[in-house]
Structure 1
Amino acid sequence: MDPRFTELLRPFLKLAGPEEITITSDTDLRRLGVDSMQAIELLFTLEDAFDIALPDEEMNDATFATAGTLWQAVARQLPDQTTEVSA
């Protein structure tokens, strides 16, 4: 995953606790506090930061389930990027 992606994601993980967590592709976004309202805010943040637009079919619970699934959706919109998810 792109380091910029994980740094943009970190503020939305309100239930992560005070310690610095390592965000991996398996990080469960819902468990760490990303609810539907935050998912919308996160979507706008990612679209602005990466200058992309996620297609409507990507707006679902599966896309926002883990950091890895969300990164894959973002990476598919980036020119010349691979959708490979690495921790």
Structure 2
Amino acid sequence: MWDDQFEDIMRRYVPFLDADEPLDPDAGLRDLGLDSMGIIEMMGALEATYHVRFLDDMLNLHTFATARTLWLSVSKMVETVS
């Protein structure tokens, strides 16, 4: 569904996910330990990695609800830049 870079970034900011546990695309990121500071830091990592910028209307709980919703947002931004 997503690339290894995205998976690596996600795992850095969800402390309740064990290293050997698969990242469920539909698991709530807050349930996995993502907090508001983690969201900000994760955004920076995603922007730097994918050379994209989160627009103001994307800065909401829906975008960061699950790995799936976040990847869909990131992949759309990447398509727009390409």
Question: TM exceeds 0.5?
Answer: yes
Runs ≥4 residues deviating over 2 A: none
TM-score (norm 1): 0.82
Q: Which residue of 2 aligns with 1:56?
A: 56
Distance, in Å, in 1 between the alignment partners of 2:73 and 2:58 is 7
Q: Which residue of 1 aligns with 2:14?
A: 13
Residue 22 in 1 paired to residue 22 in 2?
yes
CA RMSD of superposed structures (Å): 1.7
Which residues of structure 2 form unaligned runs of 5+? Answer: none
Kindly indicate which of the two structures has a greater share of residues assigned to helix: 2
Q: Which amino acid aligns with 1:60?
A: N
Identity of aligned residues (%): 33
Q: Deviations over 1:29-76 (max 9, x none)?
A: 110100111100000000000010011111101111100000011011
Shift of 1:24: 3.1
TM-score (norm 2): 0.87
Q: Which amino acid aligns with 1:72?
A: L
Q: Which residue of 1 aligns with 2:68?
A: 68
Q: Which residue of 2 aligns with 1:34?
A: 34
Shift of 1:22: 0.8
